[in-house]
Amino acid sequence: MATTSSTLRPIKVAIIGSGPSAFYSAARLLANATKDGGADVHVHMYERLPTPNGLVRYGVAPDHPEVKNVEHKFAQVAEDKRFRFFGNVNITGENSSSSSLTYPYPLATQLPITSLIPHYTHLLLSYGCSLAQTLDIPGSKPGELKNVHSALDFVNWYNGHPAAHDPAFLQQEPWRAVDFSQNLHQATVIGAGNVALDVARILLRSRSTLTSLFTADTAIKARAALRETDIPEPVLEQLSKSQIDHVEIVARRGPAQVAFTNKELREMMELQDVTFIKPKDEYMHLAHEQVKALEAKAKGTIDSGGENTQAAASEARVRKRLLSIIEKGSATKESKTSWSMDFFKGPNSLLPSSSKPTSVGGIRWDEMAFEPTPSTHDRDKPWSGGATTGQHHVRATGNQSERATDMVIASVGYKAAPLDSESNSLISWDVKKGIVPNRGGQVIDANGNARKGMYVSGWLARGPVGVIASTRIDANSVVEQMLHDWRTSNGSMRLEGEKEVDLESVPEELRQSTKRVVTWQDWLRIDAYELTKGQELGKLREKVLSVAQMLSIIE
């Protein structure tokens, strides 16, 4: 039987991270913990940067400001008196000198996770994915060739993340800097997700909006639209130097398997003064055959009364619509600036430029084909397996090709990292999946046993999939599991046995730190500064690009 809030111990949660998953979890905790005979609740949020909001601030494309409106909801959460924000605090593993993250965060207080345990009943890991998946091919190592970037680094750059601008970070990893002052005309984006389209769109819009190649009216309107976003001025200055006139998006599989949404694709097709070069007819024919197979599968499921009927039928409709958008093409039919999509190519190696051996000059591609099945294998028709069976696995055919390019951006996914690079007895790590092992959000150890009081949400729990809306659903589910465990255990499902937790206490390292621990009020001062600077420039905000400057504003 559930106890009442007067007898059930208060719940005090430390949330590591301050992105969408963290804030949605905090909101759910503050709203639901006291319901139905629940407990009093206190939420402390830890963030290694002085700025909150994570992916919303540093991941959402700047020309999609409507998506960032959730920041207002997060601010409402922070106004709750039961909530406290601790920015500029880098939570590390048990061995604080062995961080698995590449960014050093030298101005932050370094706080081992073990120091949190005595002060909280629960720990919620929500720090997301801060690293990029790598190509792992010759020429792709960081700094090996100039003008080679991960999509994460490029997104960090145009969104003003300190990792791409702060001298303290760039001194350690100078290859993260983006430079358009060179004579670059073609960019290759490897990958076919929404982030790949974001990157391509910013590259193309920079060409059509920040230069005067096109008609005056078009250029003025487009330039104003981009300059009014929160893209930092140093980034706009670099983009204005861009001579990129063609962006190619290259994928290992076919048009029917792309991961981007129809909405994102339609936005690409509507770019002013940018022409889309359509894929080969054979690729589109194969894609249509695969969609027909999916429709037939959905119909067969309906006829047999099977499950997932609506999902299969919906997927077929979405894919069919996507193919029609590709075939219709761009609104602009002729232009000096263009983009294209190519398929069934896997990067084999990045090649140096013949004129500038330290810079990338081309890519060697492996030609790919769908894996045939024993029943449909036909060596003369390498596409037949995928077309007739719906299989989406590809293999290299043995054929290769080479194409020149001036810039490579690898958009092959994000990945999370454990809090430290050494073995961690407190929190296990699934190396293969790149997540914290969990069961419905509750952290489990290497043997599958639940770790009392420890939970994980968002991309750190399920991998880098889904959008902000799905992150909210996941966060709500994890919090409900946490509260259910708390109520049904009469407050014993907690980090440390029977010891009572001081609701006002924080780790000793924070009280003694010589480095500034940023409060929510401190962040509001940074926020006001950015908004004021942005207003002066006629834009949404002008982001502060270095941690040192952020701290100087509040000091």
- CA–CA separation, 337 vs 411, rounded Å? 22
Q: What tens digit of pLDDT does each residue of 498-527 get?
A: 678 898 999 999 999 999 999 999 999 999
| Average pLDDT value for residue range 384-400 | 66
Lowest mean pLDDT among 385-394, 435-444, 491-500: 385-394
The whole-number pLDDT of residue 128 equals 93
Does residue 468 have a known ligand-binding role?
Answer: yes
252 among the known binding-site residues?
yes
Helical axes 194-209 vs 151-158, angle rounded to 10°? 50
Closest CA to 29 of 448, 510, 441, 507: 441
Any known ligand binding at 244? no
Tokens of 514: 């010589």
**Residue 239 and residue 279 in one domain:** yes
DSSP-assigned beta bridge partners for residue 404: 362
Annotated binding-site residue? 223: no
HSE (side-chain half, CA atoms, 13 Å) at 374: 0
pLDDT over threshold 90, residue 303:
no
CB crowding 415-449: b at 16 or more within 10 Å, else e: bbbbbbeeebebbbbeeeebbbbbeebbbbeeeee
Please tell me whether residues 225 and 360 are part of one structural domain. Answer: yes
Domains of the chain: total? 2
253-285 pLDDT, tens digit each:
999 999 999 999 999 999 989 999 999 999 999
Q: Is 71 annotated as a binding residue?
A: no
CATH number at residue 27: 3.40.50.720
554 in any annotated domain? no
Has 47 been labeled as part of a binding site?
Answer: yes
Domain that holds residue 341: 132-410
- On whether 383 is known to bind a ligand per the annotation, the reply is no
- pLDDT band, residue 421 (cuts 50/70/90): low
Structural contact between residues 392 and 370, judged by C-beta atoms closer than 8 angstroms: yes
pTM higher than the cut 0.95 = no
Question: Using one digit for the tens of pLDDT, what is the confidence trace for 185-212?
Answer: 999 999 999 999 999 999 998 765 554 4
The CA distance from 11 to 30, in Å, is 10
- Listed in sequence order, the residues at least 6 apart from 82 whose beta carbon sits closer than 8 Å to its beta carbon are 30, 40, 41, 42, 43
- 138 & 83 share domain: no
Does residue 267 sit within a domain? yes
Kindly indicate the confidence band of residue 393, based on its pLDDT and cuts at 50, 70 and 90. confident
pLDDT digits (tens, 9 = 90+) for 25-80: 999 999 987 775 567 899 999 999 999 999 999 999 999 989 999 999 999 999 99
Annotation-wise, does 253 bind a ligand?
Answer: yes
The torsion angles phi and psi of 438, rounded to 5 degrees, stand at -155, 160
228 pLDDT band, cuts 50/70/90, is confident
Same domain? For 326 and 311 the reply is: yes
Same domain, 93 and 173: no
Is 21 annotated in a binding site? The answer is: yes
Q: Answer yes or no: is 526 a known binding residue.
A: no
Higher pLDDT, 537 or 300: 537
Q: Are residues 164 and 107 in the same domain?
A: no
Q: Is 536 annotated as a binding residue?
A: no
Other C-beta atoms closer than 10 Å to the C-beta of 60 total 22
Q: In the prediction, which pLDDT does 306 show?
A: 54
pLDDT tens digits, one per residue of 79-121: 999 999 999 999 998 765 544 455 678 899 999 999 999 999 9
Please choose, from the candidates 144, 231, 223, 151, the residue with its C-alpha nearest in 3D space to the C-alpha of residue 191: 151
Angstrom distance (rounded) from CA 479 to CA 122: 11
How would DSSP label each residue in 194-247?
Answer: HHHHHHHHHHHHHHHHSS-SS-HHHHHHHHHHHHTSS--HHHHHHHHT----EE
